[in-house]
């Protein structure tokens, strides 16, 4: 029998509150993405890609110091009765995770949420807290055909116990700040190579900087709107498949949720595009779980 990981809501010690995931299911989760989805290609034929030479992971970056990004969340999302996709997320309070709408809009069951992890799939690290979540709020304006409002919330019935390895991130206070030129940090467990259709075994991160929406719009032929924020892909830096839904951060503040990039590859210099968090502060406030 394959090894299993038991996901339980800690305060509810009941079989109904738990879910068994086999090690095989965890290891075979497909990195979530928009760029290589055939339907995405039909809807957005002008966005660069696809290519046979996709280098799919946090590129131009390094392995994160373990537990140095305590807001980072890993999500296993059931895509069918037998397969899971993988995305990132960000803890914004003890009962709420923010992620990309495209990660959760086609799920067929509850989401396995891991917090406090460095390795993925998660092992026996005592820092890890897991939740099995079905309370998902997708932005009402989300539509794959227009790539707008790619943001969603996952809410827990029971608050997550916070620790040095699990700390919610701060949200912006100034909704008018555009962050142009500011240095950013983005992290995730995107695929480590083309030959392995699996996520990175360790959390990785990369620094870049915010570019103008005008420049980003030129790269993506008009797709980018005011509610997007983009970082430079210069020097082969950026996000890739499996990083979707993860955090774009400046000085410990969440400013973006990873949405899409170029399917030509992650080292070709195209920007990475995110949902701009300052555009959604009211929506987040109205829909997040209270603590």
Question: Which residue(s) pair with 129 in the sheet?
Answer: 115
Residue 174 backbone dihedrals phi, psi, to 5 degrees: -105, 105
Marked catalytic residue, from 150, 165, 208, 243: 150
Nearest to 195 by CA among 77, 57, 287, 58: 57
**Is 228 designated active site?**
no
* Count of CB atoms situated within 10 Å of the CB of 28: 15
Judged by DSSP in three states, 211 sits in strand
Marked catalytic residue, from 44, 102, 139, 228: 102
Gap between the Cα atoms of 216 and 266, Å rounded: 15
Peptide bond into 50 cis (omega under 30): yes
Gap between the Cα atoms of 228 and 217, Å rounded: 10
Q: What angle do CA 221, 265, 34 make, to 5 degrees?
A: 65
Q: Is-contact 152 142, C-beta < 8 A?
A: yes
Q: What is the helix (H) or strand (E) element at residue 228, kind and residue range?
A: strand 228-231
Marked catalytic residue, from 112, 227, 244, 272: 244
In the DSSP assignment, the letter for residue 205 is E
Gap between the Cα atoms of 46 and 25, Å rounded: 34
**Residue 67 CA from chain centroid, whole number:** 17
Q: Which two tokens stand for residue 15?
A: 């079989």
**Is 244 designated active site?**
yes
**Is 105 designated active site?**
no
Gap between the Cα atoms of 63 and 164, Å rounded: 19
Catalytic residues: 102, 150, 244
């Amino acid at each position: 029998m394959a090894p299993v990981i038991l996901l339980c809501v800690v305060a509810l010690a009941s079989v109904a509150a738990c879910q068994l995931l086999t090690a095989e299911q965890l290891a075979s989760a497909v990195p979530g993405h928009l760029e290589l989805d055939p339907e995405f290609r039909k809807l957005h034929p002008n966005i660069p890609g696809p290519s046979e030479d996709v280098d799919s992971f946090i590129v131009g970056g390094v392995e994160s110091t373990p537990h140095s990004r305590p807001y980072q969340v890993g999500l296993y999302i059931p895509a069918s009765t037998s397969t899971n996709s993988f995305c990132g997320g960000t803890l914004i309070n003890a009962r709420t995770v923010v992620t990309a709408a495209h990660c959760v809009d086609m799920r067929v069951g509850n989401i396995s949420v891991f917090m406090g992890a460095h390795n993925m799939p998660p092992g026996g690290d005592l820092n890890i807290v897991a939740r099995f979540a079905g309370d998902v709020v997708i932005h009402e304006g989300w539509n794959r055909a227009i790539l707008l409002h790619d943001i969603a919330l996952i809410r827990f019935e029971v608050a997550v116990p916070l620790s040095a390895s699990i700390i919610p991130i701060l949200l912006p206070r100034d909704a008018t700040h555009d962050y142009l030129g500011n240095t950013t940090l983005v992290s995730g467990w995107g695929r480590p190579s083309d030959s392995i259709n699996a996520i990175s075994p360790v959390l990785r991160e990369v620094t870049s900087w915010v570019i103008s929406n005008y420049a980003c719009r030129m790269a993506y032929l008009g797709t980018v709107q005011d509610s997007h924020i983009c970082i430079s892909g210069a020097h082969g830096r950026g996000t890739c498949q499996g990083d979707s839904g993860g955090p774009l951060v400046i000085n410990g503040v969440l400013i973006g949720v990873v949405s899409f990039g170029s399917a030509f590859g992650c080292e070709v210099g195209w920007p990475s595009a995110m949902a701009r968090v300052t555009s959604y502060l009211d929506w987040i406030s109205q829909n997040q779980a209270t603590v």
